[in-house]
A and B are shown apart, each in its own frame.
Chain A
Amino acid sequence: MNTEVLRSYLPLFTEAFLLTVKIGWIGIALSFLIGFVCAFIRYFRIPVLTGIVKGYVELFRNTPLLIQLFFIYYGLPAVGIRVSAEVCGAVGLGLLGGSYMTESIRSGLEAVPYIQTESALSLGMTKTALFVHVILPQALSISVPALVANLIFLLKETSVFSAISLMDLMFTAKDLIGLYYNTTESLVLLVLFYILMLLPVSIAGSLIEKKARFKMFGD
């Protein structure tokens, strides 16, 4: 392995890393937003919308991100909607992630026993107050492991962004390999940058998990 090559590739990879992280996190923020809204719709069994959410979750959970991105990137212009590759990546990741987040948050909400609602009601609490103070905090601490797993999964999914010509880490690596045949160096940097992206998330996730679940479940 040529360290000189590594050094010369570093700026390109750093740039790609920052872009990947940026789009990744925007997509993840979007996925949380979608996840909460859709999980609430299903939990409260809001008519009509519940059906739409079910359809959305099945559609996006059961198709690969790559195909979703192709549809958004190449399909939307066909109907006159043109979006940049960056917006497309973030929205695609958000929609895919949203379907996973919906189910994870919903499973937490459904896991809180109904008697918790009844005991809060019998204290005179309104439905809103009991949801905010009793149900949601418990649901989230149940969901945390699933949410962290989703987060890591989504960050790894960013590697398909290259398919819609986003200059992300994967794109940069493939490009450099194609141009200069320094396969080993490019792949080493690719792996290192992905670890750099994910390891802190993984560690932070474990800490959050520990903190969020201690109250209810102990060590």
Chain B
Amino acid sequence: MSEILRVEHLKKSFDELMVLDDINLSVQRGEVVVIVGPSGCGKSTFLRCINGLEEIQEGRVLLGDEVINPAQKGTNKHREKIGMVFQSYDLFPHKTILENTTLAPQKVLKRKKDDAEKEALELLDRVGLASRKDSYPRMLSGGQKQRVAIVRALMMHPEILLFDEVTAALDPEMVREVLDVILDLAKQKRTMLIVTHEMAFAKAIADRILFLDGGQVIEDGDPKQFFESPRTERAKKFLSTFEYDRS
């Protein structure tokens, strides 16, 4: 396995508030890293820093051997290689499903329309939405929109995929259909960084768990070990919030 993403001594603050405090991470090609932690621990900000949507104060983010720095020109070239799916889907509401998935390949990768559409239809078919290609986003359910958003990201042939709480805004019965798509991607050996609150899903998909709290990596390791016998008190306390006990 070869390294694809490296984060070195990343520090990010919003004015006085330190959100990420000296984060280090190395991700190998094909690895699925799940990031968990309490609300406000900096998980989403971490993904946004990797994608160059946030300026960082210290440290650096490297994709392969290229430094991602939103303060410099050319960040869009790096973003091509990083796919990101957001909590609120954020499809383009004025474009059909097919147009949503083929816009960036045409405008950014300069692919031919027919060619991009052919691939988009194959991918839409794979997530069960080929028949909705001419619908507009408002006509789709949350789960369907999120599946389209995943296809839209895949269409750019990203080297790494970032998922930012992609099921957090969904009704419970729609969570499954989205997570199944992501599980399928894991089987294809895609490199992924996933922020989620779905612990059962995290356990099933992760090659590695990163537990963030207070802007720091508290635990980094094997999912089985993390969920069954967390090393730190903070992780134990966090995991206990997902358990219910009447006594």
Contacts and interface: CB of A to CB of B under 8 A. Distances in A.
A125 B138 contact: no
B53 A133 contact: no
A125 B104 contact: yes
30 contacts: A115-B86, A115-B90, A116-B90, A118-B53, A119-B84, A119-B91, A121-B79, A122-B53, A122-B79, A123-B79, A123-B80, A123-B103, A123-B108, A123-B152, A123-B153, A124-B76, A124-B80, A124-B108, A125-B104, A125-B107, A133-B103, A133-B107, A134-B92, A134-B103, A138-B93, A138-B94, A215-B93, A216-B94, A216-B138, A217-B138
A122 B108 contact: no
Nearest to B95: A215
A129 interface: yes
Interface in B87-114: 88, 90-95, 103-104, 107-108
Interface residues of A, number: 22
B136 A216 contact: yes
Nearest to B84: A122
Choose among A119, A122, A124, A129 the residue with the greatest number of B CB atoms under 10 Å from its CB: A122
A141 B138 CA distance: 15
A63 interface: no
Given A115-B86, A123-B104, A216-B138, A137 B79 contact: no
B138 A129 contact: no
Which 4 residue pairs spanning A and B have beta carbons closest together? A124-B80, A123-B104, A122-B84, A119-B90
A216 B153 contact: no
Q: Is the interface of A mostly helix, strand, loop or mixed?
A: helix
B156 A137 contact: no
Contacts of B138: 216-218
A122 to B, nearest CB: 4
A3 interface: no
Contacts of B82: 122
Given A118-B53, A119-B86, A126-B76, 13 more contacts: A115-B90, A116-B90, A116-B92, A122-B79, A123-B79, A123-B153, A124-B76, A124-B80, A125-B104, A133-B107, A134-B103, A138-B92, A217-B138
Interface of B: 51, 53, 76-77, 79-84, 86, 88, 90-95, 103-104, 107-108, 136, 138-139, 149, 152-153, 156
Contacts of B136: 215-216
Nearest to A137: B94
Interface in A189-215: 215
Contacts of B92: 116, 119-120, 134, 138
B164 to A, nearest CB: 10
Interface in A95-150: 113, 115-116, 118-126, 129, 133-134, 137-138, 141
B99 to A, nearest CB: 10
A60 B185 CA distance: 57
Contacts of B152: 123
B93 A216 contact: yes
B232 to A, nearest CB: 32
Contacts of A115: 86, 88, 90
B107 A118 contact: no
A116 B95 CA distance: 12
Contacts of B76: 121, 124-126
A76 B85 CA distance: 58
A160 to B, nearest CB: 38
